[in-house]
Amino acid sequence: MTISDTELAEIVGRVVDPELRRDLHTMGMLRGASLAGGNAHVLVALPADDWPARSELVHLVEEAVTDQNQIESVSVEFVVMDEAEQAAVRDQLIGDPSSTGGTQEAHGHAEGRAVPFAEPGNPTRVLLIASGKGGVGKSSVTANLAIALAQRDLRTAVVDADVWGFSIPRMLGVERPPTVIDQMVIPVEANGVRCISMGFFAREDQPVIWRGPMLHKALEQFLTDVHWDDPDYLLIDLPPGTGDISLSIAQFLPKAELIVVTTPQPAAQKVAQRAAYMAEKVNLQIRAVVENMSWFRGEDDKRYDIFGSGGGEALANELDVPLLGQVPLVTELREGGDVGRPIVVSNPESEAASIFREMARLLTEEYLPTRRYNEGLKLV
């Protein structure tokens, strides 16, 4: 029995676009489907001319259609949406900036766009990855932990908020810039993790020389003008220290949890303590401590405490939070970050990769968000 054009359209309409994560019918991308003599012709409208999923869509449509016995061949033709159609896609996914003020005015654009992760009922768990100073491996921890979460079948995303020292795209292995649809940014995915970074908007060898208000605005747009699609986990790689970005994050994301990265050195631990105390002052929950570069394992299989020992545990005890994990000093961990092959991908059986996977397990199974006392709430 030969299927009708209507039935063919229903089959193709259920194909999910990999970038938007919505089916073609819902997004208005399917413009036609016809069958003649066993040959199917499908017309798809792309939201942008440089749509990165173009080739993958051909494969997905062919796969869906050739499952039908009566169809011998499939041809997929593409057109590009006009500006009005692109605006409709943006409105459907993240809303119109002029009409989506949300419920918390302090947590969004002056124009009215609300930060979705601050809205009541939003399902995303936000983890801020912080350090007191640079050079402790905070971004490396962020990248590997994000992939370890994604490997647990959790939808995971990263905001690279370290605007002066952005490195997350390189570490994750991102190979292309994000796509923009009518001022809405589609985050790039690599190793199962979606990300956005200042590195997409500034040359890698050029400094970002911005004052506080511009930093605040850029971070706000990373949170509101990007189609994040409600990930299970959003990790935010903060700049080192306690500057404007950290204060803006506290304003935008009052439900976020802080993970402090330090090294075993007592001096590093004392500096990291300041970042934690800043979080307490702005009422952010401190979730855990990660100690990086904890030891080096030599060829004799012995541990060598190159940077001392006990700093992470001392900081965790001081803050009364768990020590989430201790990551060894491994050459492969550093090399993987330089070439976009994090160790949880390049060597999943290694000691360091196992530790990152255990940290992901602890965060998802044991160290869950907790309710906090709010003196402004009263029983009547």
Question: Residues with Cβ < 8 Å from 332, sequence gap 6 or more?
Answer: 343, 346, 347, 350, 352
The full DSSP string for 72-100 is -EEEEEEEE--HHHHHHHHHHHH--TTT-
The full DSSP string for 107-171 is GB-TTS-B-GGGSTT--PEEEEEEESSSSS-HHHHHHHHHHHHHTTT--EEEEE--SSS--HHHH
Contact 294, 264 (CB under 8 A): yes
Over residues 104-133, the pLDDT tens digits come to: 444 444 455 689 999 888 999 999 999 988
Per-residue pLDDT, 106: 43
Over residues 158-188, the pLDDT tens digits come to: 999 887 778 899 999 998 899 999 989 999 9
Per-residue pLDDT, 356: 98
Question: Residues with Cβ < 8 Å from 251, sequence gap 6 or more?
Answer: 106, 107
Per-residue pLDDT, 374: 47
Q: What's the start-to-end Cα distance of the chain, in Å?
A: 68
Per-residue pLDDT, 206: 62
Per-residue pLDDT, 170: 92
Domains of the chain by start residue, with CATH: 5-81 (3.30.300.130), 105-365 (3.40.50.300)
In the structure encoding, which two tokens stand for residue 302, read together? 């012995």
| Averaged pLDDT of the chain | 87
Question: Residues with Cβ < 8 Å from 19, sequence gap 6 or more?
Answer: 51, 52, 53, 179, 186
Strand partners, 22: 17
Q: Label the pairing between strands 296-297 and 303-304.
A: antiparallel
Per-residue pLDDT, 373: 40
Contact 231, 157 (CB under 8 A): yes
Contact 20, 89 (CB under 8 A): yes
Contact 333, 326 (CB under 8 A): no
Contact 83, 47 (CB under 8 A): no
Q: Which residue reads 């494969």 in tokens? A: 59
Q: Rounded to an integer, what distance in angstroms lies between the CA atom of residue 211 and that of residue 354? A: 40
Look up the pTM and report it. Answer: 0.89
Phi-psi region of 181 (alpha: psi -120 to 50; beta: other; left: phi over 0): beta
SS3 (DSSP) at 270? helix
Per-residue pLDDT, 207: 60
Q: Rounded to an integer, what distance in angstroms lies between the CA atom of residue 140 and that of residue 318? A: 24
SS3 (DSSP) at 354? helix
User: Cα-Cα-Cα-Cα dihedral of 66, 68, 74, 76, to 10°?
Assistant: -90
Question: Residues with Cβ < 8 Å from 100, sequence gap 6 or more?
Answer: 94, 112, 113, 114
Over residues 31-68, the pLDDT tens digits come to: 999 998 889 999 999 999 999 999 999 999 999 988 77
Q: Label the pairing between strands 16-17 and 22-23.
A: antiparallel
Per-residue pLDDT, 133: 84
Per-residue pLDDT, 40: 92
Contact 125, 233 (CB under 8 A): yes
In the predicted model, residues of the chain with pLDDT beneath 70 are: 1, 69, 97-113, 202-212, 243, 371-380
Q: Label the pairing between strands 233-237 and 156-160.
A: parallel
**Burial status of residue 168 (CB atoms within 10 A of its CB: 0-12, 13-18, 19 or more):** buried
Residues in the chain, how many?
380
CA 252-258-264 angle, 5° bins: 145
